[in-house]
Structure 1
Amino acid sequence: MPLREAKSIDTLAADTREAKLTLSADPPLTLALDRHTSTPRLGRASATPRSYAANEFVPSDRRRLFTHLINDTSLTWKQAHRALDRCLQCWDATGSLDSITDYPEFDTPQFHTTRDILQAADSSYHDLEATKLPDSTDVAVINEAGLSPLDRTLLPNSYKQVDPFTGDTTSLPQFHVFPSTSAIVDALITQLDAHTAEAVGIVLDESSLLSPLVESALETAGIPYQGGPGFIDDSDVRTFLRLSDAVFTGSDLRVAELRPLIERLGIDLARTADHRRVDRVDIGSAYEQFADALHTGTVDDAISTYELAAETSLTHLREECAKLGLLSTAFTPQRLTQLRYYIESFDIPVDQPNEGILLTDGAATSYVDRPVVFYLGLGDGWAQQPPDKPWIDPVEHVQQDLDRFEILLQNGQERHFLVQASQADADTSPCVYFQDLVEHSVESFSDLPHTTHGADATRESVGTPFVAPDKPDTDPEPPETISQSTLQRLANCPREEFFHRLVESPTTIPMARGTVIHEAAELCVTHPDAVRERHTEVVDAMLDQIRAYATTARERVERTQCEIALKTIQRYLDARPPTDTPHETYSDRSQSNNLADRLGLTVDSPLTERWFQAPDIGLHGFVDLLHSETALIDYKTGSKSSAGKLRQQAALDPLHDEPNFQAAAYLAQHRRETPDQPLEIRFVHLLEHDTQLARGDTVPLDELVTTVEYLPCTFGEFAARREAFDAVTDYADSNDRVKALDPLGYDAYREFFESHDLPREGVDPERREAIIQSFIEYTKTRVKDTKYVERGCRSAIEDIDGLVGERYLTEDLDAFEAFVTAQRERLAAYREEGFPIRTNEDGPNWDRVDAQDLVIDDV
């Protein structure tokens, strides 16, 4: 890949050695040339025009000029910064400060005011405008095109021009293409150590993910570096600003939002409180003192309180606030906004180490004075966008930036280009300037000379295992019992089950709402009269438990939902009261009822919140209500599903995208309690029609309930049942099914299927088809040999398949119990060998993974 050959820093130093002064618009180059000077001398041998005129190494007067503007004018901070920025840019680009108001866009009072202030204030721009080198000065200028019109006012009438390019062409080394950002950082760190740090430079996009990853990796490896985070990146400054913003946010702030900030103050709160409102949690005295300082004290008070709590020093922040005249002012939200805007808008110098690896931004420099240079990323962020200003020629700006880019790529005696192949399943776009350096289209790094690393890391269908460092719970024996929620996690994403055991799940508002509604449902069984008599008090107590998770604006909605849920529970129990029947395979509750405690009530019913643990089928869990000998109740606060959909979600081969095994698990348990009887579990959806119920409309109870049945029979036995016959003949008289089976009659129908064990669809297709043909002939001989009889018989059997699709039969629960056994064995193996991300080629349903930030799909 040819590009113009750039002169090295050594060559430029040789070309300018005889000059008394070398000027360049690139500060790192002038510093490098100074270091290459071997002859003792007074002053700098190389400088930028403004640093020479101001006699400062790096002129930095923008913050001082900004302070002039906010103190001496009525401009807001944002107006002052914008006007200052535009005026200085125009001054530099045109050579005249007065020209700013020649542009209609900037011919406004605020720009006139800013121009007048700048005309009167001392600055490096005035110094440069007022300084001109005498013709006797031997001056060399490197890359004269890079100098601005204001820079050129310094130049004598004659000077030596030094071209940064040799006039020849050269080529780049191959790009090293890696599969991920972390792979780039890993490859980089293996090449570095503290002893060779002074010889290495790293160029990257400071706004990209690579920047913090590289800095973190260097710190972890104990390798010194310079050019890293600035003032705004200081952890204490950032925490102080964010914590102040959090305090001013108000009562709706959540613990999760506050956690990383208060940890800096040495405060640790339980993860389960992450979604609770801060005003409902005891944060601790350090936080309360800081909040009090913000609300009642000055900026200096807030800084001092933070320093005391965090055991740190914010000296630089206090100095900047003093320069701005803020220290003794009240710390208000407006003051915080101003302070944050200032810190984000101005480059505030900080004391940084001047040894170690040099980190530099790929869009801001041309020269890196190190023998070994690593170029990381080389993406879109390496090109400067032309500023949308009337005094900027975009074509000229792009050409100058392209020159800078070509020079930058040729620094160092050793150069290594480390790039990423793709990101978010799309090819990573190389810097746009590569299009100008090659004759063909460049859409990805594979279009450039490259070597691929990690290409053999192909994705396996089941993912790669994740093993905890200490391998907790490495018991080779299967767990005695598991819950239906564990089954669902294992089926969808085994690795989530791993993190579920390691990381506490925070309580969310749906969880808090569901918990208190279930507690209220238990009280409706154990203390129905008290709940009615104390209705308002009960709803108040319910809302009080939810209030910690709800915004202030949402409290009325939550109260309405508590009212609706409570009334629906009472209505259902009134219409279908539970039967007080003893149950042998369920035991006493082991969890508390906070709502009952708040109301001073006890919950000791043998029917509510009953625990079961069944090692023979490998399951455990809680049942909301043992409604009768053959029926279970489970209260739901989410959306209603049909029985057919619930059965589909419990499919085992293949597993459903949204696995749901609750009905199967609870029916499998209850058939131990009541064997050889039809059973059912009813899901009562308390908030299904909350909008209509809130309006006072009446919704039939049946529209709120989904019932899933279990029948202790095979598919063939089900086909012979009266209810199956009635269902497949529940059509108009003209329907083929009715015309075929009504004349046949139920007795003849039953006799056939009792003597022919019909397989369900997909099981033994040849035998199934033979029995269907036999049934057709059987019916024809007893009714009539016509096409409608054949069609009616076949359609009736298809209906039977559909009827079974909404129920569980004996073989269904047998298969489910075998599935539970297999999952328990898998869980034991995962604990020993590691938890994979996926159990199928398509991978998990990520919408159903709660710990997405932990379960990273990196295979």
Structure 2
Amino acid sequence: MPLREAKSIDTLAAETREADLTLSADPPLTLALDRHTSTPRLGRASATPRSYAANEFVPSDRRRLFTELITQTDLTWKQAHRALDRCLQCWDKTGALDTITDYPEFDTPQFHSTRDILHETDSSYHDLEDTTLSDSTDVAVINEPGLSPLDRTLLPDSYQQVDPFTGDTTSLPQFHVFPSTTAIVDALITQLDTHTAEAVGIVLDESSLLSPLVESALETACIPYQGGPGFIDDPDVRTFLRLAEAVFTGSDLRVADLRPLVERLGIDLDRTADHRRVDSVDVGPAYEQFADALHTGTVDDAISAYERAAESSLSQLREESDKLGLLSTAFTPQRLTQLQYYIESFDIPVDQPNEGILLTDGAATSYIDRPVVFYLGLGDGWAQQPPDRPWVDPVEHVQQDLNRFEVLLQNGQERHFLVQASQADADSSPCVYFQDIVDQPVESFSDLPHTTHGGDATRDSVGTPFVAPETPDGEQEPPETISQSTLQRLANCPREEFFHRLVESPTTIPMARGTVIHEAAEVCATHPETVRERQEDVVDAMVDQIRAYATTPRERVERTKCVLALETIQQYLDAHPPTDTPYETYTDRSQSNNLAERLGLTVDSTLTERWFQAPDIGLHGFVDLLHTETALVDYKTGSQSTAGKLRQQASLDPLHDEPNFQAAAYLAQHRRENPNQPLEIRFVHLLEHDTQLARGDTVPLEELVTTVEYLPCTFGEFAARRETFDAVTDYADSNDRVKALDSLGYEAYREFFESHDLPRKGINTERREAIIQSFIEYTKNRVKDTKYVERGCRSAVEDIDGLVGERYLTEDLDAFEAFVATQRERLAAYREEGFPVRTREDGPNWDRVDAQDVVIDDV
């Protein structure tokens, strides 16, 4: 594939060796040419026009000019920076400062003021305008079209033009395509060491993830490098600004937002308090002193407080603040905004090492004076977008940048192109300039000459196991019991169960609300009259427990939710008082009730928050309320589901996308307590209609309850029940089911199904169809041989399948208990061999994975 061949730095040095001065618009090239000069001389052999005129390698007077503007005008910092930026750009690109106000967009008072101050203030732009080279100076200019009009004012009448290209073509090298960013960094680091660092250059997109990964990898490997993070990337400067921003957030600041900032101050905050407001926890005296300095002191006071807490220096930030006139002013949110804007807008020079690997940005340079160059990424960020300015010709800008890009690709005696195959399940996009360099469409790196490394074609479709911790010698025994929540995690994403054991989840406001409402339900069941008498105190105590997680405006909303939940609990218990019955398979509570303690009450009911641990079915858990001998109650603060939806979510083959086994688990446990009896679990949704209730609307209590039944019978026995017959004939008289089965009568219906064990749909299909045909003939013989009888009988059987879809039968809970046993065995195997991400082909439902940031999908 053809590529215009670029001259090497050695070649350019040879072609310009006889010149008194070599000019180029590329500062790294001029420095490289200086290093290639072997003849002793005064001054620089090569320079950019502005650096030559100002006698500086890289003139850096923009910050000084900005300070002049904000001290001599009433412009805001943002206005001053914008006006300065546009004026200097126009001056450079047109050769005259006054041109800026010729454009209507910039013919405004702020640009007139900026122009006038720039006219009066010394700068490298004035130096360049005022400097001339005599005709006796032998000048060579590399890539003369790359010089700006202001640059060209320095040129004498006669000079040597040096083309950066040879006029021949060359070929692109092989691209090394890797599956991920980390794979690129790993491959790079294996090629580097401290002894060869001075010979290596690395080109990448400084705004991409590659940049911090490469810097971190080099630091870890103790390999020196230069050209890395700037002033804004200094960890103490960044922490100081972000910590100040966090403090000014006020009472709604969360522990999770503060933790990474105060870690640099040596403060370790409890992760379980992540969603708590900072003002509800004790952060420590170092943080309190820093916060106090922000609220009451000067910028200098705040910097000093941080330095004491972090035991580090912010001397350069102090110097910059002093130059800006801020050091002795009060540290206010406005001052913080100004500091942040200044640091983000200007390139503040920092002392950096002058040795080691050279890191450089792929969109900002042409030449790297190193024999070995690694090019990483080569994506969209390597092309400069033309600025939307009236003095910029976008076509010319793109052509000049394309020239730069072609030169850039040909640095070094050894060149290695390391790129990523895809990102976010889509092919990575090569830099747009490859479309101009090669003679075919380029949509991915596979369209260029390449070698693939570390492909994923051989990976197991169910995921690579996460390495499990070491276990004691011997076979790992299955855990005796597991909870229904563990069961749901294993079904959806086994690896989440691994991290759930390692990383305790922080309490969120919905969790805190749910906890206090459940505690209130227990207090209501234990002390109903006390709650009525002290209703306001109970709500106040509930809100106190939530306050640490709620924003100040949110407190009123949470109070309303607490009031509505408490009233609904009371209404339900008044309408359906629990029966005080002794139970054998449930034991005393083992957890405290914080709300009761706040109210000075004890909760010792034998019906609320009852613990069960059942090794024979492999389950354990808490039941909110043992309502009657045959009914359980579970309070819910989330959205309501129908019984049919809950049954679907508990499907075992295939597993549902949103597994929910709570009803099955609790019914399986309760049938141990009451075998051979119909049972039910009632989910009382306390906040399902909170908006209507808050408006004062009346919502029938039964609309808040979802009931899931268990019937101790087979499917065939269910079909023969009177309730089933009534349900399948609950239609208009004209319906085929009614015309057929009402005439048949329940007794004849029951006799048939008691003598014919009807299988479920999808099980023993041939036998099921034979029984249906027998039922049709049975009914025809007793009613009438018509089409409506056949249609009615078949429709009635289909209805029976639908009715079972909302209930559990004996075989359903038997199958569920077998599923639990299998999952316990799998859990034991996972602890021995490793936890996979997925158990089904389409992978986990990521919306149901709490630890997404640590559960990495390997497939």
**Per the alignment, in what secondary structure is the counterpart of residue 300 of structure 1?**
helix
1:776-787 → structure 2 map (5 Å cutoff): 776-787=776-787
2:281 paired residue number: 281
Q: Deviations over 1:134-187 (max 9, x none)?
A: 111111111111111111111122111111111111111011111111111111
Could you say if the C-alpha distance between residues 18 and 474 of structure 1 is closer, same or farther in structure 2, counting changes exceeding 3 Å? farther
Q: Deviations over 1:809-858 (max 9, x none)?
A: 00000000000000000111111111111111111111101111111223
Q: State the superposition RMSD in angstroms.
A: 1.2
Q: Deviations over 1:361-406 (max 9, x none)?
A: 0000000000010111111111111111111111111111111000
- Name the amino acid aligned to 1:282: D
2:452 paired residue number: 452
1:679 paired with 2:679, answer: yes
**1-structure distance, mates of 2:236, 2:584:** 61
**1-structure distance, mates of 2:795, 2:700:** 32
**Per the alignment, in what secondary structure is the counterpart of residue 317 of structure 2?**
helix
**Per the alignment, in what secondary structure is the counterpart of residue 374 of structure 1?**
strand
1:580 paired residue number: 580
2:164 paired residue number: 164
1:690 paired with 2:690, answer: yes
**1-structure distance, mates of 2:473, 2:392:** 65
Q: Deviations over 1:405-446 (max 9, x none)?
A: 000000000001111111111111111111111222111111
1:652 paired with 2:652, answer: yes
Identity of aligned residues (%): 89
8 Å contact from structure 2 (residues 197, 356) kept in 1: yes
1:743 paired with 2:705, answer: no
Q: Deviations over 1:231-259 (max 9, x none)?
A: 00011100000000000011111111111
1:191 paired residue number: 191
1:524-673 → structure 2 map (5 Å cutoff): 524-673=524-673
Identify the range of structure 1 (469-478 vs 80-89) with the bigger mean alpha-carbon deviation.
469-478
Q: Deviations over 1:321-344 (max 9, x none)?
A: 111111100000000000000000
1:33-182 → structure 2 map (5 Å cutoff): 33-182=33-182
**2-structure distance, mates of 1:783, 1:5:** 95
**Per the alignment, in what secondary structure is the counterpart of residue 194 of structure 1?**
coil
Could you say if the C-alpha distance between residues 472 and 72 of structure 1 is closer, same or farther in structure 2, counting changes exceeding 3 Å? farther
**1-structure distance, mates of 2:691, 2:400:** 63
- Name the amino acid aligned to 1:576: H
1:767 paired with 2:779, answer: no
TM-score (norm 1): 0.99
**2-structure distance, mates of 1:756, 1:72:** 99
**2-structure distance, mates of 1:379, 1:479:** 50
Give the superposition deviation at 1:474.
Answer: 9.5
1:438 paired residue number: 438
2:348 paired residue number: 348
Give the superposition deviation at 1:473.
Answer: 12
Q: Deviations over 1:612-667 (max 9, x none)?
A: 00001000000000001110000001111110010000000000000000000000
8 Å contact from structure 1 (residues 475, 831) kept in 2: no
**Per the alignment, in what secondary structure is the counterpart of residue 627 of structure 1?**
strand
**2-structure distance, mates of 1:123, 1:234:** 28
Q: Gapped runs of 5+ residues in structure 2?
A: none
8 Å contact from structure 2 (residues 468, 832) kept in 1: no
Q: Deviations over 1:463-494 (max 9, x none)?
A: 11001465699971110000000000000011
- Name the amino acid aligned to 2:234: D
1:835 paired residue number: 835
**1-structure distance, mates of 2:566, 2:550:** 19
2:257 paired residue number: 257
**Per the alignment, in what secondary structure is the counterpart of residue 665 of structure 1?**
helix
**1-structure distance, mates of 2:36, 2:473:** 62
2:812 paired residue number: 812
2:359 paired residue number: 359
- Name the amino acid aligned to 2:796: A
**2-structure distance, mates of 1:526, 1:685:** 20
Identify the range of structure 1 (213-222 vs 300-309) with the bigger mean alpha-carbon deviation.
213-222
**2-structure distance, mates of 1:599, 1:78:** 55
Could you say if the C-alpha distance between residues 350 and 472 of structure 1 is closer, same or farther in structure 2, counting changes exceeding 3 Å? farther
8 Å contact from structure 1 (residues 241, 336) kept in 2: yes
8 Å contact from structure 1 (residues 474, 831) kept in 2: no
**Per the alignment, in what secondary structure is the counterpart of residue 184 of structure 1?**
helix
1:307 paired residue number: 307
Q: Deviations over 1:248-306 (max 9, x none)?
A: 01111111111110111111111111111111111111111111000000000000000
8 Å contact from structure 1 (residues 472, 831) kept in 2: no
- Name the amino acid aligned to 1:297: G
- Name the amino acid aligned to 1:56: E
Q: Deviations over 1:217-244 (max 9, x none)?
A: 1111111111010000011100000000
**Per the alignment, in what secondary structure is the counterpart of residue 196 of structure 2?**
helix
Identify the range of structure 1 (723-732 vs 581-590) with the bigger mean alpha-carbon deviation.
723-732
Q: Deviations over 1:511-557 (max 9, x none)?
A: 01100000000000100000000000100111111111111111111
Q: Gapped runs of 5+ residues in structure 1?
A: none
Q: Deviations over 1:692-715 (max 9, x none)?
A: 111222211110000000011111
8 Å contact from structure 2 (residues 468, 831) kept in 1: no
- TM superposition outliers: structure 1 runs of 4+ over 3 Å: 456-459, 468-475
- Name the amino acid aligned to 1:104: P
**1-structure distance, mates of 2:472, 2:708:** 38
8 Å contact from structure 1 (residues 474, 832) kept in 2: no
1:211 paired residue number: 211
**Per the alignment, in what secondary structure is the counterpart of residue 628 of structure 2?**
coil
1:383 paired residue number: 383
8 Å contact from structure 1 (residues 649, 656) kept in 2: yes
1:797 paired with 2:797, answer: yes
**1-structure distance, mates of 2:724, 2:481:** 36
1:489 paired residue number: 489
8 Å contact from structure 2 (residues 524, 531) kept in 1: yes
Could you say if the C-alpha distance between residues 23 and 507 of structure 1 is closer, same or farther in structure 2, counting changes exceeding 3 Å? same
**2-structure distance, mates of 1:700, 1:474:** 58
**1-structure distance, mates of 2:635, 2:822:** 29
Identify the range of structure 1 (50-59 vs 477-486) with the bigger mean alpha-carbon deviation.
50-59
